[in-house]
Amino acid sequence: MMKMLSQSPARNVFISAGLFFLLLAFSVPAAGTEQDPEPKRQRELIHLLVQDCGSCHGLTLKGGLGPALLPQDLEGKDNEYLSEVILEGVPGTPMPPWNVEITENEVRWLVRRMKEGEINDR
Ligand code: HEC
């Protein structure tokens, strides 16, 4: 009886730890892979970039109220910085935050596309 009582909590801990590491093993690769948005969503994001962002940054992203966003303007700028600016906006300037419309993963994809250039909204 004494033995049972002292063993079972230890076994529960052992099982919980096992489950924990099993979950960890599954969740780490899932979090590490960056999936491109679905093709339909990609078209929506490009449409947003040209129409909405374009209203300030120029329909061809050559600049307007907001600075130019062409590959030569963005090269050398950190993807994390650019994603942050787009998601959070720039307080005190007309640049609004987009984190309601666009997810972090989508913004990273968009930044990669912007750096590649040749943006066509069709
Ligand atoms: C209402 C006007 C407006 C809209 C709409 C807008 N922006 Fe901006 N954006 C600005 C302004 C103004 C700045 C410059 C802010 C500053 O002074 O730092 C800016 C800055 C930026 C920057 C930083 C550029 C750099 O070189 O540091 C990026 C990137 C950017 N915008 C991307 C976007 C994207 C992507 C969208 C659409 C999802 C968007 N903007 C929509 C006005 C706008």
Domain ranges of the chain: 1-33, 39-116
Ligand 1 atom at shortest distance from the alpha carbon of 55:
5
Residue 92, pLDDT score: 98
Residue 118, pLDDT score: 87
Q: CA 110 to CA 81: how far, in whole Å?
A: 13
For 27-44, b/e burial (b = at least 16 CB within 10 A) is: eeeeeeeeeebeeeeeee
CATH value of 39-116 in 1.25.40.20, 3.40.50.300, 3.40.50.620, 1.10.760.10: 1.10.760.10
Tell me the CA–centroid distance for residue 65 and ligand 1, in Å. 9
Residue 62, pLDDT score: 97
73: its two tokens: 């303007």
CA proximity to 87, closest of 73, 67, 58, 107: 107
Say yes or no: CB of residue 109 within 6 Å of ligand 1: no
Residue 2, pLDDT score: 56
Taking 50 as the pLDDT cut, the residues of the chain under it are: 29, 32
Q: CA 4 to CA 7: how far, in whole Å?
A: 5
Residue 14, pLDDT score: 67
Q: CA 96 to CA 85: how far, in whole Å?
A: 9
Residue 102, pLDDT score: 97
